[in-house]
Amino acid sequence: DSGVTQTPKHLITATGQRVTLRCSPRSGDLSVYWYQQSLDQGLQFLIQYYNGEERAKGNILERFSAQQFPDLHSELNLSSLELGDSALYFCASSHSTDTQYFGPGTRLTVL
């Protein structure tokens, strides 16, 4: 158990819909990272927050947004969903900028 929690574990929705994925980092970790893993693909970095502020941005679509709240939990919002958005979404947290600890992921299926 990495100490990072993600909810929900599974999410099934329809095209055009909007969903919110939630992540609680390990106690004391200020950084939260979001990744997308599509079928047979590597982990694609989406975005990083540090203590409530956006720190780095990767290949995140404009339809996606994220935020980190004062209690350090983070939410990833995916809107106008398309079939191609079906993937595993991982959250990771870290205390420094080195080792990241990953949550179990949310499997999103868009029908």
Partner 1 sequence: DQQVKQNSPSLSVQEGRISILNCDYTNSMFDYFLWYKKYPAEGPTFLISISSIKDKNEDGRFTVFLNKSAKHLSLHIVPSQPGDSAVYFCAAKSSSGTYKYIFGTGTRLKVLA
- Report the interface residues with partner 1, using CB under 8 A: 2, 4, 6, 31, 33, 35, 40-45, 48, 50, 55-56, 58, 90, 92, 97-105
- Sign, CA dihedral 111-84-49-53, equals negative
- Helix (H) and strand (E) counts for the chain? 0, 11
Measured CA to CA, the distance from residue 37 to residue 16 in angstroms comes to 20
Nearer to partner 1, 14 or 102 (CB): 102
| Closest distance of CB 71 from partner 1, Å | 21
Distance from C-alpha of 33 to C-alpha of 48, rounded to nearest angstrom:
4
Instruction: Decide whether 36 or 81 has the Cβ nearer to partner 1.
Output: 36
Closer Cβ to partner 1, 43 or 61, answer by number: 43
Give whichever of 50 and 79 is closer to partner 1, judged by the CB atom: 50
CB of 16 to partner 1, least distance (A): 28
Q: Which amino acid is at 28?
A: G
In terms of Cα–Cα distance, which of 10, 30, 8 is closest to 92? 30
